Amino acid sequence: MPGDTQESHALAEGIARTSYGKLLAILSVRLRDVSAAEEALSAAFEQALKSWPGNGIPGNPEGWLVQVARNRGVDRLRRQTVRDRIEPALALLAEEAAETNPDELFTDDRLKLLFVCAHPAIDPAMHTPLMLQSVLGLDAARIGSAFLVSPSAMGQRLVRAKTKIRQAGISFEIPEREHLNERVEAVLAAIYAAYGTGWDGDHGADTGTAGLADEALFLGDLLCSLLPSAPEALGLMALMLYTTSRRDARRSTQGAYIPLDRQDTGRWNRSMISRAERLLIEAAAFDKPERYQLEAAIQSAHVKGRLAGRPNWPAIEMLYARLLELAPSLGAFVSHASALAQMGRHEDALARLEAVAGEAGTYQPYWAVRAYCLRQAGRNAEAGKAYDMAIGLSEDASVKAFLGGEKASLGHAG
Amino acid sequence: MKYMILVAETEKEFAMRNEAGTAAFEAFMAPWFAYSSALAQAGVILGGQALMGPETATTVRIRDGKRIVEDGPYADAKEQLGGFFVIDVPDADTARDWAAKAPTSSSGHTDLRKVMPFDGEA
């Protein structure tokens, strides 16, 4: 039965929105060329818009798109006279003959592509952006904004990186053990960046990244099953699960942000939490605590403290101190200072903050923690200024109001 | 790059202008003082003013050589221009971040406009 035009267009649009990344990954691995895969895929979409309204929507539209794009890619490779094009073309034809359903391959393909993107021949700064585009289908504008680069500059860098993949003849296989570890780190960083981007988009209006956090969880899961003896892969998965378990509890029905210590723990996803706990224990057996395991352990301590009704600040403080040795960041410095302040060690906390004062700029948590510490230290005039900065840097009216109340009570204290 | 942050306030917020000296006024103004102080501490502010309510507005037109003067309030919008800040920041994203932090972004709304650059000005 021929489908109507509107229905065909809606379906093609839906697939482009939800599955572009995975289709591109399948094709990139088949064609061994990300740029060629992009061209072939857009040609396939174009053909779908022409063909589906008249001929009807195929039973497996995604499979249809992959098939058409692959044929396009093969045609293009056949026309190439350069010697290095012949080999992939032959491999592709052999594969095509042997293969049945393209869908069966795609989980593996996305992982292969992740490792291709993390190849040492590619500029390390481009590993994550490249993965976000070729594996998850994010556009250059969105990636640019996540990396604070203009869309056109990001677009150019992505093109260069893809050319590099082709020219350097990078193998589209999951690397052997000895090369695996050096690339796992970049793969983990990309998955976490995707997760963070999806998380930010969660409460923003129309950022086009809804579902990205779920994609990251999916990839993290795959990575864990591929690399069950990589403790950091398990650590990252645990970290993402802890954060996701609180997804429903962190916003009120009116959409206001609810901090962890005031969340309704009944709305936490307990099965995610227990899975995260199990992963963290599995990871700990390797006795190689690194960044993601430490961050997950901090989450675990917060969750347990909250459930026990008594926060375990000494444990959290120790984990942050260790995290800072391995992966110093402004956020970790401020969190460490916050844990110290909660333990009553305000002078230590202020010294911690002093160390990053130069780069704190407009980072709101820095000013909020600084205000709290100065207040505890009895330095009210300075605390007032820090409160102003923290209030002025907040977007949320309820956060502004809370900090405003804290500042107002300074006057009465001294 | 220079940007103008235009804050649009609700009728209730304009009414606060007549409450000076009360606790409600202090509570209303506190986030504004914090906001302008944060702009100053961050070193991005070039200037700004708060405006009296729309009832003080006057619209002037010359038509057919005649001066036509209308006293406010003009256009029956729910939210009216209540003041502005001019800031100098490195890029559009930073400007948007600052606009989002204005108290009116949660109550009324906030508009952001790029200031036209002249002769090599960023």
H-type helices in chain B, by residue range? 11-15, 23-41, 92-101
Spatial contact of A164 and A189, defined as CB atoms under 8 Å apart = no
pLDDT in the model for residue A101: 46
Domains of chain B, residue spans: 2-114
CA A162 to CA A191: how far, in whole Å?
19
The percent of residues above 90 in pLDDT, for chain B, comes to 62
Closest CA to A130 of A87, A181, A165: A165
Tell how strand B45-50 and strand B58-63 pair up: unpaired
Of residues B80 and A104, more confidently modeled: B80
What six digits make up the tokens of A102? 């393209």
Q: Is the pLDDT reported for residue B120 higher than 70?
A: no
Answer whether B41 sits within 8 Å of A389, measured CB to CB.
yes
Q: How high is the ipTM of this complex? A: 0.76
Reported CATH class of domain B2-114: alpha beta
Tell me which residues of chain A have a pLDDT lower than 70: 1-3, 77-108, 145-148, 174, 176-178, 198-211, 412-414
A51's CB contacts (< 8 A; 6+ apart) are none
Predicted confidence at residue A103, as pLDDT, reads: 44
Please state, rounded to an integer, the average pLDDT across all residues of chain B: 90
**Nearest Cα residue to A261 out of A342, A368, A189, A165:** A342
Measured in angstroms, the CA of B97 and the nearest CA of chain A are apart by 8
pLDDT confidence of residue A395: 85
Angstrom distances, CA of residue B108 to CA of A337, B40, B82, B103: 36, 23, 10, 8
Whole-number pLDDT of residue A92? 55
Supply the pTM of this predicted model: 0.67
Q: How many residues does the structure list for chain A?
A: 414
* Fold of the CATH domain A320-414: 1.25.40
Say if the Cβ atoms of A362 and B97 lie within 8 Å. Answer: yes
pLDDT at A178: 65
User: What is the per-residue pLDDT for A147?
Assistant: 66
B22 — phi, psi (to 5°)? -90, 165
Q: Does residue B73 have a cis bond before it (omega within 30 degrees)?
A: yes
pLDDT at B76: 67
Residues of chain A in contact with residue B106, where contact means CB-CB under 8 angstroms, are 395-397, 400
What one-letter code names the amino acid at A275? R
Residues of chain A with CATH 1.25.40: 320-414
Neighbours of A87 (CB within 10 A): 12
- Three-state DSSP at B72 gives coil
Chain B residues whose CB is inside 8 A of the A387 CB are 34
CB contact under 8 A, B38 and A389: yes
